[in-house]
Amino acid sequence: MEIAASSPSITFETSPERYQHWKLSFDGPVATLAMDVREDAGLRPNDYKLKLNSYDLGVDIELADALQRLRFEHPEVHSVILTSLKPRIFCAGANIFMLGTSSHGFKVNFCKFTNETRLGMEDMSAHSGVKFLAALNGICAGGGYELALACDEIYLVDDGSAAVSLPETPLLGVLPGTGGLTRVVDKRKVRRDVADHFSTLAEGVRGKCAVDWRFVDRVVPTSQFKEAVEARARALAALSDRPASGPGIALGPLNPAIDGDIIRYRYVTGVIDRAKRTCELTVMAPDTAQPSTPEEFLAAGDQAWVIRAFRELDDCLLRLRLNEPETGTVIVRAVGDPRAVLAVDETLAAHQDHWLVREIIGLIRRTLKRVDLTSRSFFALIEPGNAFAGTLFELALAADRAFMIDHPDEENTVRLSAMNGGAYPMSNGLSRLETRFLGEPASVRAALAHDGPFDPQAALEAGLVFDAPDDIDWDDEVRMAIEARTAFSPDALTGMEANLRFAGPETMETKIFGRLTAWQNWIFQRPNAVGERGALMTYGREGRPSFDWKRT
């Protein structure tokens, strides 16, 4: 029986003192994130037990929180050891019984969140100066190995039984859902035929074979394992350009006020209309003076607008994904003083080499990617009093369509900044302007070189908005566009939007989200996986799976 898994509401905020599954410790420039999953502390503890360090969404929510805190609260951390406190077991992967009793939508969104979290680790390595070392102290299977694959290097204990494996295809009739197949060949550069063999080998590989085939970087005898891991972690830490000491900034709770169908934060508000299946998502520009130097950012802490607003937006997007599956269209507005947004952008551009400003830019980059990767239609409405400028204009560029009212009596403009020129690349490695004007580099240069704001007609001519109706037609044009959107098949829209949003070059990220997610979405609905006798449903129970042998 499938469980809806969307009630009660899932929350994405936590903190180290509330962790049930991870232990975070520090030794100078090296942090250790150790899995110690509580069997009885799953999100639905009556439905499954998290045995053998298997994980569910709750485990990954804690991991995502720990990564965010390492970025902002601990600038002195230069490398992270990822390991387990369970003897002879690193991680058995995503909990199979959790997957088997979850709704289709929950399974897909669970995989998407775990993918974003692991890509976040690679983002830290690429942009934050924090390297990850997976210290596999025992069996490492499925999603556990996918977690290790997100690290820069993998050490495996050589105890005669420890192995790495991706057993999803032979045992469960599904795919490794967190980028395993992609990382094995694209990142680890494993030969295709070897990867094919490995992916159908339920028991995995161990010892020298695992090193020779590039599935791990080194195997170490048990007696030397701890010493070798610590030495390598310190060597990786020495490569970092992060500061030797703090202070960082503490990330406090967001504490949104939820009143019926309204989610209200300090700078972000989401209003859900269940009858229309829409959410009006409004982001406010700064309404007080903002930091203009890194030192002032440190003093302002997590209450600085750019940190607070994008943490709120990220949290709201995740709540919509998991708790509001029937809310299919998001209407995005940015309101307030655009000059305040542009002033923040000037500060970010001027100090982007400072570790904290670099982390702020990273927070914005990852949150905007969360928009791109959310299976909802996004329509931006640009009206008088809007704050679609610079960084906030990225929300309009991320939207599937942007509408800008051309009012004869009220000023309505948008404006770009240096931050629109590539500070927030999409999963394809391009800026949203470059993706928008694929094959038209002159249009990108012209938009960025434009002096001053764009009025509605200038924005339309520059290709920055989809339509600019006048005030007479505005209400009807917008209403008809939204009503038409909400009437289409949600499945078709999800496929259409993902294909259009992933324009341009293919990267490891676009493969994971545009290819893996789409295939897993399909497989998760097929009887060979989730039918009464499907492999996922019969695993661990009496009997063997029954397959429909036709290839499709």
Q: pLDDT tens digits, residue range 359-375?
A: 999 999 999 999 999 99
pLDDT at 541: 84
Please choose, from the candidates 373, 310, 317, the residue with its C-alpha nearest in 3D space to the C-alpha of residue 111.
373
Alpha-carbon distance of 223 to 521, in angstroms, equals: 43
Q: What is the CATH number of domain 258-493?
A: 3.90.226.10
Q: Which residues contact 417 (CB under 8 A, 6 or more apart)?
A: 342, 345, 346, 349, 389, 390, 391
31's enclosing H/E stretch is: strand 30-35
pLDDT bracket for residue 57 (50, 70, 90)? very high
CA distances from 7 to 102, 106, 368, 540 (A): 12, 11, 27, 27
Alpha-carbon distance of 392 to 368, in angstroms, equals: 10
Q: Contact, 152 vs 215, CB < 8 A?
A: no
Is the pLDDT at 204 greater than 60? The verdict is: yes
* Residue 188 exposure: Cα atoms within 13 Å on the Cβ side: 28
Q: Which residues contact 93 (CB under 8 A, 6 or more apart)?
A: 54, 55, 141, 142, 143, 144, 145, 146
First-to-last alpha carbon distance for the chain, in angstroms, is 26
The b/e string for 339-377 (b: 16+ C-beta within 10 A; e otherwise) is ebbbbbbebbbebeebbbbbbbbbbbbbbbbbbbbbbbb
DSSP secondary structure letter of residue 4: -
Mean per-residue pLDDT of the chain: 96
Is the pLDDT at 246 greater than 50? The verdict is: yes
Residue 548 region by backbone torsions, left for phi larger than 0, else alpha for psi between -120 and 50, else beta: beta
542 forms beta bridges with none
Give pLDDT tens digits for 457-501.
999 999 999 999 999 999 999 999 999 999 999 999 999 999 999
Work out the number of other CB atoms within 10 angstroms of the CB of residue 541: 8
Work out the number of other CB atoms within 10 angstroms of the CB of residue 533: 13
Alpha-carbon distance of 528 to 519, in angstroms, equals: 14
CATH 3.90.226.10 positions along the chain are: 16-237, 258-493
Q: Contact, 307 vs 252, CB < 8 A?
A: no
Average pLDDT over residues 512-526: 92
Give the domain 16-237 fold: 2-enoyl-CoA Hydratase; Chain A, domain 1 (3.90.226)
Could you tell me the two tokens for 139? 């069996």
pLDDT bracket for residue 502 (50, 70, 90)? confident
Average pLDDT over residues 392-414: 97
User: Phi then psi for 125, rounded to 5 degrees?
Assistant: -65, -40
User: Phi then psi for 378, rounded to 5 degrees?
Assistant: -120, 120
Of the listed ranges 6-10, 53-57, 151-155, 290-294, the one predicted with least confidence: 6-10
CA 197 to chain centre: 30
pLDDT bracket for residue 8 (50, 70, 90)? low
User: Phi then psi for 218, rounded to 5 degrees?
Assistant: -160, 145
pLDDT at 543: 81
Pairing of strands 79-84, 131-136: parallel
Average pLDDT over residues 149-178: 96
Beta strands in 265-328 (DSSP E): 268-273, 278-284
Is the pLDDT at 335 greater than 80? The verdict is: yes
Give pLDDT tens digits for 88-114.
999 999 999 999 999 999 999 999 999
User: Phi then psi for 43, rounded to 5 degrees?
Assistant: -65, -30
Q: Quick check: helix, strand or coil at residue 91?
A: strand
CA 239 to chain centre: 26
Determine the angle formed by the axes of helices 305-323 and 104-123, rounding to 10 degrees: 150
Average pLDDT over residues 503-525: 93
Q: Would you call 33 exposed, middle or buried from its count of C-beta atoms within 10 A (0-12, 13-18, 19+)? A: buried
165 forms beta bridges with 141
Of the listed ranges 231-240, 247-256, 308-317, 541-550, the one predicted with least confidence: 541-550
pLDDT at 3: 44
Alpha-carbon distance of 88 to 136, in angstroms, equals: 9
Is the pLDDT at 503 greater than 70? The verdict is: yes
Please choose, from the candidates 523, 507, 550, the residue with its C-alpha nearest in 3D space to the C-alpha of residue 168.
523
Q: Which residues contact 18 (CB under 8 A, 6 or more apart)?
A: none
Is the pLDDT at 5 greater than 90? The verdict is: no
Please choose, from the candidates 163, 160, 140, 135, the residue with its C-alpha nearest in 3D space to the C-alpha of residue 226.
135
